[in-house]
Amino acid sequence: MLNPTWLNTFVTLVDLGHFTKTAEKLFMTQPGVSQHVSKLEKACAHSLIRRENKSFEVTEQGRLVYQYGVQLVKHEQQLMERLAFDDPYSGDCTLACSGALALMLYPKLLDLQVHYPQLVVKLKAAPNHQILNEINTGIIDVGIITDLPSYSLFDVTELGREELCLVLPANIEKNNVSESLLTGLGLINHPDAEHYLSIYFERSQQSIFTDLNIKEIPVTGYVNQISQILHPVAKGLGFTVLPKSAVDTFQEPKKLKVFPLTKPIMQTLYMVAKRNRALPARFEVVKSILRQNLGCLKTL
């Protein structure tokens, strides 16, 4: 790496065209300016100027070094300007959450981008473990998860709570729901199905779910697109468990039945970021949208 002090001296010399004026501007002696140029020439392994009495001519290699030095100063100035200017309405915001939440949140975030076109929102659907890993590695900035992570690794804020729903075909009667019926229907599987099922069966306090082994339930379909998961359920091909936000966005609700519980099963939504990371001001704008839309899910 070229010494930035020598490089600055050389750029100043070329700009002013005079050793004495360069020395005066940089508060140096004239021999000091010559010494910097000589050291820079040795570092570059090329002559940068040709001295002619009290004047000099810049060599072709010298022109290249001068252009490099000018660009270096320009880039440094641009960096300092960007560091000093944290616009809350411009820049990239990279987020991740479950597919169900992405389905609900994305239109809201797009509305925000319509108001502020320079604010670019990048939303990714992913399971909890992937979100935490990608926050840690810097791939995403903020995530929304349902399992409380380690406070030693992440900054955590509770956003709201969302209901989990056991979703059945519309022709299934509540009184007919049993272990054998669910086993007979089979599971419409998806990336979060096992996680949601384990929470639902554990907290439901319903005897019909007590002895159900998730691993023994036949899988009658698999979909990894959140908007498609309920289609096979609506056609009577199986059952599944999803957050209420995904059920509410399904376009044919009359073809579904949500199994009623005396006390709904709620999962807490946590907003997470890397521990002690100072996020840009634009994230406060995005966070306000998350709070507005996810806070309403707290109501039981």
What phi-psi label fits residue 285: left (phi over 0), alpha (psi between -120 and 50 degrees) or beta? alpha
Residues 155 and 167 in one domain: no
What is the pLDDT at residue 133?
93
Please name the residue that has the structure tokens 């349902």. 146
22-66 per-position pLDDT tens digit? 999 999 999 999 999 999 999 999 999 998 877 899 999 999 999
- Give the distance, in angstroms, between the CA of residue 176 and the centroid of all CA atoms in the same chain: 44
What is the pLDDT at residue 26?
93
212-251 per-position pLDDT tens digit? 888 889 999 999 888 899 999 999 999 999 999 899 889 9
The CATH number given to whatever domain includes residue 155 is 3.40.190.10
Residue pair 67/15 in contact (Cβ under 8 Å)? The answer is no
Among 52, 84, 116, the domain-final residue is: 84
Residues 282 and 239 in one domain: no
> Which residues lie across from 267 on neighbouring strands?
162
CA angle 128, 134, 139 (to 5 degrees): 140
Q: How far apart are CA 267 and CA 288, in angstroms?
A: 21
Residues 67 and 113 in one domain: no
Residues 155 and 102 in one domain: yes
Residues 63 and 139 in one domain: no
State which residues of the chain have pLDDT below 50.
298-300
Q: Which domain holds residue 24?
A: 4-84
What is the pLDDT at residue 299?
37
What is the pLDDT at residue 300?
31
- Strand stretches in 207-294, DSSP E: 219-222, 240-243, 256-258, 265-274
Residues 29 and 43 in one domain: yes
What is the pLDDT at residue 298?
46
Among 84, 114, 143, the domain-final residue is: 84
Q: What are phi and psi of 128, to 5 degrees?
A: -50, -50
What phi-psi label fits residue 274: left (phi over 0), alpha (psi between -120 and 50 degrees) or beta? beta
Residue pair 167/233 in contact (Cβ under 8 Å)? The answer is yes
Number of domains in the chain: 3
Residues 210 and 261 in one domain: yes
Q: How far apart are CA 11 and CA 28, in angstroms?
A: 15
Q: How far apart are CA 122 and CA 109, in angstroms?
A: 9
Which residues touch 70 (CB under 8 Å, ≥6 apart)? 11
- Strand stretches in the chain, DSSP E: 49-52, 55-58, 91-97, 119-125, 142-145, 154-169, 187-189, 219-222, 240-243, 256-258, 265-274
Residues 154 and 274 in one domain: yes
What is the pLDDT at residue 269?
93
Residues 190 and 258 in one domain: yes
Please name the residue that has the structure tokens 């940089």. 26
Question: How distant, in Å, are the alpha carbons of 133, 243, 245 from that of 98?
Answer: 14, 10, 11
Residues 178 and 53 in one domain: no
- Give the distance, in angstroms, between the CA of residue 281 and the centroid of all CA atoms in the same chain: 15
Residues 171 and 244 in one domain: yes
Q: How far apart are CA 150 and CA 156, in angstroms?
A: 9
The CATH number given to whatever domain includes residue 17 is 1.10.10.10
Which residues touch 6 (CB under 8 Å, ≥6 apart)? 36, 37, 39, 40, 43
What is the pLDDT at residue 210?
77
Residues 272 and 261 in one domain: no
